[in-house]
Amino acid sequence: MLGMNADPAAIAALRTELGLDQPLPTRYLAWLGRLVTGDFGTSWTYHAPVGGLILQRLEVSLPLTLYALLISTLLALALGLATVHWRGSWAGRLLAGLAQIGIAVPNFWFGIMLVAVFSVGLRWFSGGGFAGWEAGPLAALKSLTLPAIALALPQAAILARVLRAALLDALGQDYLRTARAKGLSEGQALLRHALPNSLLPVLTILGLQFSFLLAGGVLIENVFFLPGLGRLVFEAIAQRDLIVVESVSIVLVFQVILVTLLADLASAAADPRLRAGAR
């Protein structure tokens, strides 16, 4: 943290400031005590409480994650239903190929292409930065639109593949054949019966994707110069601010646990068989 040529006296002073001169059990118990009270310590780079820095950056990262998750879900539903409805046709094969491309291409490349087209070329959006919520919700959401799309496209492709597989499996079930025999069109049978019964794997993937979008936005936030959690971690690593890196990691771990729990509860609400099995 002090550099390769730091003075021994400065190193000793920093060790005392960070509490590294105390026994390991003492340091660990003190850290746990502060963690329970929400005290993550003080950033070496910013000289400010780490908890306040994380909350400040979450004002950008959390809306970006929710925005990207909404776009990803809508695109995946449309793409998954379309590929199943047009399965076997050239349109279905084209959409399936686009989904495979979306999985293969990294999101930061999508971000660079979006900046080149919509910022440099068409000038519809700014190339980076965040307008701030004080400028109004529309201005802030406009700043997050291109990053959210770049984050959402690969995740939408993954989710569409999962949904397509679940829908194709549902098409072979007896209740779908019964629905078709009662006079429903294939599109109506897909929407009314196959889609609700195919949501279980989709909800599981959505929970995983939320965690990935929140924790994996480091590259996108640096491409678009967003003052979010990912950029905070990147700057902390560059400055060797290990207190910030450690604290953000702990927050993300708790977030993964919470979102996984919510995804399990949503799965149980969507599928009565899970509730019956638990009973």
Q: What is the pLDDT of residues 92-109, one digit of tens each?
A: 888 888 888 888 888 888
Which token pair is 9? 């006296």
Q: What is the pLDDT of residue 98?
A: 86
Dihedral, CA atoms, 193, 194, 195, 197, nearest 10 degrees? Answer: 90
Q: What is the pLDDT of residue 259?
A: 86
On the question of pLDDT at 272 being above 70, the answer is: no
**DSSP, res 45:** T
Sign of the CA dihedral running 22, 28, 29, 30: positive
- CATH T-level fold of 50-270: MetI-like fold (1.10.3720)
Give exposure, 83-110, as e/b (b: 16+ Cβ within 10 Å): bbbebeeeebeebbeebeebeeeebbeb
| DSSP per-residue codes, 149-206 | HHHHHHHHHHHHHHHHHHHHHHHTSHHHHHHHHTT--HHHHIIIIIHHHTHHHHHHHH
Query: Could you state, in order of their start, the residue ranges of all structural domains in the chain?
Result: 50-270
On the question of pLDDT at 256 being above 60, the answer is: yes
Q: What is the pLDDT of residues 117-156, one digit of tens each?
A: 888 888 888 878 888 888 888 888 888 999 999 999 989 9
Q: What is the pLDDT of residues 206-252, one digit of tens each?
A: 888 888 888 767 788 888 888 888 888 888 888 888 889 989 888 88
pLDDT band at 43 (very low <50, low <70, confident <90, very high): confident
Centre a 10 Å sphere on the Cβ of residue 273 and count the other Cβ atoms it contains.
9
On the question of pLDDT at 276 being above 70, the answer is: no
| DSSP per-residue codes, 77-96 | HHHHHHHHHTTTSHHHHHHH
CB 42 within 8 A of CB 49: yes
Which token pair is 57? 């950056």
**What is the chain's mean pLDDT, rounded?**
84
Q: What is the pLDDT of residue 67?
A: 92
